Each structure stands twice: as C-alpha cells, then as structure tokens.
Amino acid sequence: MRILTVYYSLEGNCRALADVIQEAVGGDVEGLRPEKEIPRKGFRRLLIGGWMTWLGQSCPNPPLTKNIADYDLIFVGTPVWAWRMSPPIRRFLTETDFTGQYVALYAMHARRSGWTLRAMQKQVEARGGRVVSAADFRDLRRGDPYPIRKRAAVWAREVVDSMDKI
C-alpha cells in the first residue's frame, strides 16, 4: 500500500506527528509551505494567520512534489487555529482532486479541535474523496508528548489495517 502524509506545520507539531505516522506505517511525507509565509511569532502571526483562519480564507501553496493519484491512502494533518483548519490546508483541500482516494485526517490543538475535522471531511468529500478516519491530538508541547505520539502511531496502524477490509 502506498501512503502519503501531507501536513502544514507552523511550529513543528504537525510535522512531528507526520513523522510519527511515517515511522508507524511508512510512506512518503510532504509538508505544505505557503507561497507567502505566515509569521511564526508575535502579533503579526495572530493578526495574519488568525484573521485568515477566522474568515475562512486560504493562502496559495506551491504544487506538491508528489502526485496524490499515485497513493492508496493519504493522511492530512493541520494545526487548529480559532477552532478551524489552517489556511494552507484549507487551500490544499479545496484545490485537490481526491476522486477515488482514501483519506485519513488529523488535527493538532491546544484545547479542542472545534469544527476542524468535520470541515476537513466535508472538503475532501466535496472533492470526491472518502474519509476513512479522523482523529484529533493535543499539542505535543502541552504535557508529556509520549502518550500523544503513541496514540498517533496506534491510530495510523489501525487506519492502515482497516484498509484491508475496504
């Protein structure tokens, strides 16, 4: 089974979880980098990233280096900002043709994922994909990261195992 994990990570949390998924089930990993970077620190980060998120805006991403049609399963991960998906993931989900693709979604948050996973699922399904699983995880910087990493690895293996039944 060919697996691709696509993620956006401003602070490295979603990247860390993408690495956990890759270690657990293999496959390729690709991070989204918006054409215009969202500031990592300070008030501008909240102003630009938070405002775009709250308004449901997205930001242009360069094309992926991988062709998702070449994969059997695609994991997609986002940080949660203002209870929503990040602008780079929003753009990826609204512009990608998922016809015939199986997709597993994950979101990383400080407290709650809000509507993030539900909104991501709607986008994938609107673009022809089938969501086989969705999971939310606490921010790795909050408390002990080991249980979060372990839970993510178990979840990823369960997703791959469930693909045998589809």
* pLDDT at position 82: 72
* pLDDT at position 3: 97
* pLDDT at position 54: 45
Neighbours of 148 (CB within 10 A): 20
* pLDDT at position 6: 97
* pLDDT at position 112: 65
* pLDDT at position 38: 59
Domain total of the chain: 1
Three-state secondary structure string covering 28-62: EEEECCCCCCCCCCHHHHHHHHHHHHHCCCCCCCC
Q: Give the whole-angstrom CA distance, residue 102 versus residue 86.
A: 21
- pTM of the entire predicted model: 0.86
| Domain boundaries, position 60 | 3-163
Q: What residues does 81 pair with on adjacent strands?
A: 84
CATH number, domain at 135? Answer: 3.40.50.360
User: Do strands 73-81 and 102-109 pair parallel, antiparallel, or not at all (unpaired)?
Assistant: parallel
pLDDT per position in the chain (166 positions), as tens?
999 999 998 888 899 999 999 999 999 999 998 755 655 554 444 544 444 544 454 555 567 899 999 999 999 999 987 778 888 898 899 999 999 999 999 999 877 666 899 999 999 999 999 999 999 998 877 767 889 999 999 999 999 999 988 7
